[in-house]
Every structure is written in C-alpha cells, then in structure tokens.
C-alpha cells in the first residue's frame, strides 16, 4: 500500500502580479497552498503584506497553509487562522506562549502547527506533541526559496516521526524539496512536502506536483 502524502506548493517566488492564476495552475493536483509570511525581522527577507496575504487567502482556489516567519507569532497566528487559513504554522523560536498560541489558532477551527529552524531540537518541544496538528522541520534556513536541501536534518525528521508515533500529526519538510530530495525526506518520515522553486520553475508545474507525489508515496518507512 502506498503511503499517504500531501504536496503544498509554495508561492514565495511566484509572480505576484498574476498570483491567483499561478495558484490555479497547481490547484487540481495539490493539497494545500503554502503561504510564507516573512517580516524581515525573524529572517532576512520580506514577503507578503497583510493585505496581499488576505487577497491570496480569500482568492485561492485551494485552502491555505500559512507559514509565519515573523517575530510576533503569538499575535499573527490567530489573525491568520481567523482570516480562514486551513493550517497556521508558528515558529517555536518566535512564540512566547506556545500553548496559548496553539489554542488560539485552533479556536478558529484551524489546524495548528509548530515549525523548527535547523538549529532547534525537537526534544525541547516534546510537551506539545498532544496539542499540535503538524510539525514543520525546516530543511533550509528560513528566508528564501531556491536554497539547497539540508540532508543533515533527516535525523531530526526521523526522531520527530518516532515521537509522533500513532498520533494523526502531519510531518512537514520545507526547503529544497525537489525530484532529487523528496524521496530522502519521505524515507526519513515526512509526509507533507512544501515545494517552491521545484514546482514553479518547472515547465509544467502541475505535472511536477504529480511527479513529486508519486516519488514521495512509493517510499516505505
Ligand atoms: C523558506 C520558505 C519556503 C520556500 C521554499 O523560508 O519557508 O517555503 O518557499 O522554497 P524552495 O522549495 O524553493 O526551497
Ligand atoms: Zn515555508
């Protein structure tokens, strides 16, 4: 039996002037749309303003998976949940009261997720394993699309998978996911894959999403 996986295209480097049609190109074959919010303080880059993010959340033909790389996750997390995102991810490094942030996000019927930068260890956040709907293990430093996948994160992915056990928690990887790397991440235990440049630099983005899905789901772990 093949493994059940999710593919979330990231529009960080897509063309904002035609963003909704860029989303439409992959909508039929994708699970959620990955929306990176960068404030220029948590990581050295900025992305969408609140107005642009609202426009995308309201207009996207598939539900949104928001990844907040901002310094005030406690405030921004619930705001994105209220705006109608299907899933909201806050960084553990930028959230003062993680339990409260998760509760506030979930109060809007939204999935709540915790993200870890490459240097952050999962073992420091064991307390939240019964509260979250997803863990996001970053496979690049937060900030930019198109960076190289960090294979040394696979041990952390594997440890997180062990920790999750039978719980229905998704395990997401984000950064450098492509035809060349997705099987490695899937074999380590990831089941939810963000792909930005691999999808939007492909001649046929929808076909690339399907290729990535096939590669990820044939891997056993
Ligand atoms: C990086 C972002 C990623 C980025 C991934 O900080 O969180 O979601 O868009 O882009 P690729 O797939 O090109 O590494
Ligand atoms: Zn992301």
Q: Can you give the pLDDT at residue 15?
A: 87
Q: Can you give the pLDDT at residue 37?
A: 98
Q: How confident is the model at residue 13 (pLDDT cuts 50, 70, 90)?
A: confident
Q: What is the pLDDT of residues 186-196, one digit of tens each?
A: 999 999 999 99
> Once rounded to an integer, what is the mean pLDDT over residues 55-82?
98
Tell me the pairing of strands 192-195 and 111-116.
unpaired
Q: What is the pLDDT of residues 73-119, one digit of tens each?
A: 999 999 999 999 999 999 999 999 999 999 999 999 999 999 999 99
Q: Determine the atom of ligand 1 nearest the C-alpha atom of 176.
A: 14
Residue 208, pLDDT > 70, answer yes
Confirm if 123 and 97 have CB atoms less than 8 A apart.
Answer: no
- For the chain, strand residue ranges (E) read 6-9, 33-38, 64-69, 87-91, 111-116, 134-138, 170-174, 192-195
Q: How confident is the model at residue 30 (pLDDT cuts 50, 70, 90)?
A: very high
Q: Can you give the pLDDT at residue 221?
A: 64
Q: Determine the atom of ligand 1 nearest the C-alpha atom of 196.
A: 12
- From the list 192, 199, 178, the residue with the least C-alpha distance to 87 is 192
Confirm if 52 and 16 have CB atoms less than 8 A apart.
Answer: yes
> Once rounded to an integer, what is the mean pLDDT over residues 121-148?
98
Q: Can you give the pLDDT at residue 167?
A: 98
* Residue tagged 């690049």 (tokens): 140
> Once rounded to an integer, what is the mean pLDDT over residues 163-173?
98
46 CB under 6 A from ligand 1? no
197 CB under 6 A from ligand 1? yes
What predicted TM-score, i.e. pTM, was given to this entire model?
Answer: 0.98
Q: How confident is the model at residue 157 (pLDDT cuts 50, 70, 90)?
A: very high
Q: Specify the 3-state DSSP secondary structure of 94.
A: helix
> Once rounded to an integer, what is the mean pLDDT over residues 173-177?
98
Residue 1, pLDDT > 90, answer no
34 CB under 6 A from ligand 1? yes
Name the closest ligand to CA 13: 1
Q: What are phi and psi of 164, to 5 degrees?
A: -65, -40
- As given in the structure block, the two tokens for residue 131 are 């509260």
Cα 166 to middle of ligand 1, angstroms: 28
Q: Where are the alpha helices (DSSP H) in 90-145?
A: 98-106
Separation of first and last alpha carbons in the chain: 12
Q: Among residues 31, 65, 133, 174, which one is catalytic?
A: 174
Confirm if 153 and 139 have CB atoms less than 8 A apart.
Answer: yes
> Once rounded to an integer, what is the mean pLDDT over residues 123-128?
97
Q: Which fold has domain 6-220?
A: TIM Barrel (3.20.20)
Task: Give the length of the chain.
Answer: 221
Give ion ligand 2 contacts, CB < 5 A: 36, 67, 174
Residue 31, pLDDT > 90, answer yes
Q: Specify the 3-state DSSP secondary structure of 212.
A: helix
**Average pLDDT value over all residues in the chain:** 97
DSSP 8-state secondary structure symbol assigned to residue 166: T
Q: Among residues 31, 36, 65, 191, which one is catalytic?
A: 36
Q: Can you give the pLDDT at residue 219?
A: 85
């Amino acid at each position: 039996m093949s493994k059940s996986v999710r593919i979330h295209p990231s529009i960080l480097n897509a063309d904002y002037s035609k963003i909704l049609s860029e989303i439409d190109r992959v909508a039929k074959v994708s699970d959620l749309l990955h929306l990176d919010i960068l404030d220029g303080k948590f990581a050295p880059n900025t992305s969408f303003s609140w107005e642009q993010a609202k426009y995308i959340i309201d207009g996207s033909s598939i539900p949104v998976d928001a990844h907040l790389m901002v310094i005030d996750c406690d405030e921004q997390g619930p705001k994105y949940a209220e705006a109608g995102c299907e899933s909201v991810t806050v960084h553990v490094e930028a959230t003062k009261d993680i339990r409260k942030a998760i509760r506030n996000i979930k109060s809007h019927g939204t999935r709540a997720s915790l993200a870890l930068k490459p240097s952050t260890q999962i073992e420091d956040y064991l307390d939240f394993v019964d509260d979250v709907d997803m863990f996001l293990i970053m496979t690049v430093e937060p900030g930019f699309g198109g960076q190289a996948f960090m294979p040394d994160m696979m041990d952390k992915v594997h440890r997180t998978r062990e920790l999750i056990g039978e719980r229905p928690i998704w395990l997401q990887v984000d950064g450098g996911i492509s035809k060349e790397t997705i099987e490695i991440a899937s074999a380590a235990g990831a089941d939810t894959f963000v792909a930005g440049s691999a999808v939007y630099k492909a001649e046929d983005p929808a076909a690339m999403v399907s290729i990535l899905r096939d590669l990820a789901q044939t891997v056993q772990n």
